Structure 1
Amino acid sequence: MIFILSGFIVGEITYTINPFIFALLIQVNYLVLRGDYISIVTSILVTNSFTDFLFNFFSMGVIYYLFGSKAGKFEYLVFFTSGIVGNVLTLLLFPPDVASAGASGGIFGILAFYIVDDMLEFSRIDWNGIGLLLIVFVLSDIIPGVNYLAHIGGILGGIILALGRKRLLTQTKPRPYP
């Protein structure tokens, strides 16, 4: 939640002082295609939209209420990896004139990660969790200007990381002798 608040403050300050600096921090596909690769990461942390900030901040609060922060520091990896996957999808599938910013890809990644992680932990399909993810996805993507590809990429990143983490944890546990 601190990343989201800090990103909004940085976005507001840079956009107010010098919109050119703000444009270098967000992902503008045209600029990324010409070598501005760092914005694939910085755009996750920056927004100047109060609505985006409010929804993202509230969403993380709900996620922490539902799941706590049981993944610990691994959650940072989920957040950034999912955000990057969403931004790469945006780069590959949207035209060069598209610009995007905000943490929602990473947030969708965290939500998907926790839902899949719970399903793996309890060895069952959690239809409530899947329903929640679908409802949040649909409701967030009916808002004009929302980057649904970042959300899809975030979800994919969260699912992949949950499956990968489960696989790593089961391989590193000592096996009892028969």
Structure 2
Amino acid sequence: MTATRRADFASTFKKSPATWLLVIVNVALYLVVSVQGGAFLNTAVTSPLLNDTVLVPYALGFGQYWRLLSSGFMHFGLLHIVFNMYALWVLGRDVEVALGSTRYLVVYLLSLLAGSATVVWFSAPDTATAGASGAIFGLLGAELVLVLATKAKLSGIVTVIMLNVVIGITQPGISVQAHLGGFVAGFVVTAAFIFVPMGVAKLRAQRGRYSRIEVDPQTGQEMAVLVTRKQVNLWGWGATLAVAVLVAIALVFGVENMQELIIG
């Protein structure tokens, strides 16, 4: 590896450590499942780890709640994980740089759980679902917010969204429910961090109002601050909490529904 490539690698890792971590964890778990099940290219159906962690809504009725989270790190076959990890690598770096690693991880995990919630409610109780696609669609929703906020060309992101929708509808074994739940969660949380402050700042600018006056450290001139960082965090984390509460409620009632199916 040349010095330039090492520098590029270090720079990429420094800018998006959470994305790297998620890719490493997903790949490592896939390798464990492959060794256990004796299959690398196809689904390792005999892997205890895979069978105990994929999301089967009916299993939640027996108290196996960890499946709601663990299923987002399991994959059915080589093509499944390659496609998801490539999407995570492409989308994750952009979103993590824009939001910061902490917000990025929150969006990712909340989108994953939102995807699990929609699977519990709108998929067959005995259907096994796995993969990072729910969380990745959350990043797709976040990326759409970033594209709209920067007024970049929409053609690229819209094409990706439409392509994934078509694949999800036409190909068997793909959970459209998880995609939809993850996308909505990622879009709403990211929009709260970006669109809400932008809207408030524009409104205050039109009315000649501001939060406070600060001195520009470079020019020494006073400047009006329309929206403070504290306010941005308040709106963003407030919306994140609201989405988290809604997802939690959906999961709780979904689990109760599975328990009722088992009892009666």
Same fold (TM > 0.5): yes
Alignment partner of 1:127 is 2:154: yes
Structure 1 residue 88 displacement after superposition: 0.9
Which runs of structure 2 are paired with 1:22-37 in the superposition (5 Å)? Answer: 22-37=50-65
Structure 1 residue 103 displacement after superposition: 0.5
The 2-side partners of 1:57 and 1:125 are apart by 25
The 2-side partners of 1:93 and 1:68 are apart by 28
Q: Which is worse superposed, 6-15 or 102-111?
A: 6-15
In the alignment, what sits opposite 1:69?
96
Q: Unpaired segments of 5 or more residues in structure 2?
A: 1-22, 39-43, 202-209, 214-223, 225-264
Alignment partner of 1:101 is 2:117: no
Contact residue 95 and residue 139 of structure 2 kept, 8 A: no
In the alignment, what sits opposite 2:139?
110
In the alignment, what sits opposite 2:34?
12
In the alignment, what sits opposite 1:55?
83
In the alignment, what sits opposite 1:139?
167
The 2-side partners of 1:68 and 1:159 are apart by 12
Alignment partner of 1:176 is 2:212: yes
Contact residue 25 and residue 43 of structure 1 kept, 8 A: yes
Contact residue 26 and residue 101 of structure 1 kept, 8 A: yes
Contact residue 111 and residue 158 of structure 1 kept, 8 A: yes
What SS does structure 2 have at the residue aligned with 1:27? coil
Segments of 4+ in structure 1 off by > 6 A?
none
- 1:11/1:153 CA distance change after superposition, 3 Å: farther
Structure 1 residue 44 displacement after superposition: 0.6
Instruction: Tell me how large the CA RMSD over aligned residues is.
Output: 3.0
Identity %: 20
The 2-side partners of 1:46 and 1:61 are apart by 17
What do residues 14-68 of structure 1 show as CA deviations (whole Å, max 9, x unaligned)? 4459634422211111101322111100111122421110111121233257x36
Residue number among 6, 19, 24 corresponding to 1:2 in the alignment: 24
The 1-side partners of 2:171 and 2:31 are apart by 22
In the alignment, what sits opposite 1:79?
108
- 1:38/1:64 CA distance change after superposition, 3 Å: closer
Greater length-normalized contact order (CA 8 Å, ≥ 6 residues apart) = 1
Structure 1 residue 125 displacement after superposition: 8.6
Corresponding pairs, count:
175
Residue number among 149, 156, 177 corresponding to 2:177 in the alignment: 149
Structure 1 residue 165 displacement after superposition: 2.1
User: Is the radius of gyration larger for structure 1 or structure 2?
Assistant: 2
What SS does structure 2 have at the residue aligned with 1:6? helix
What SS does structure 1 have at the residue aligned with 2:96? coil
Q: Unpaired segments of 5 or more residues in structure 1?
A: none
What SS does structure 2 have at the residue aligned with 1:99? coil
Q: Which is worse superposed, 109-118 or 76-85?
A: 109-118
- 1:167/1:110 CA distance change after superposition, 3 Å: same
Structure 1 residue 159 displacement after superposition: 0.9
The 2-side partners of 1:39 and 1:59 are apart by 23
The 2-side partners of 1:167 and 1:126 are apart by 17
Residue number among 162, 166, 177 corresponding to 2:194 in the alignment: 166
Structure 1 residue 3 displacement after superposition: 3.1
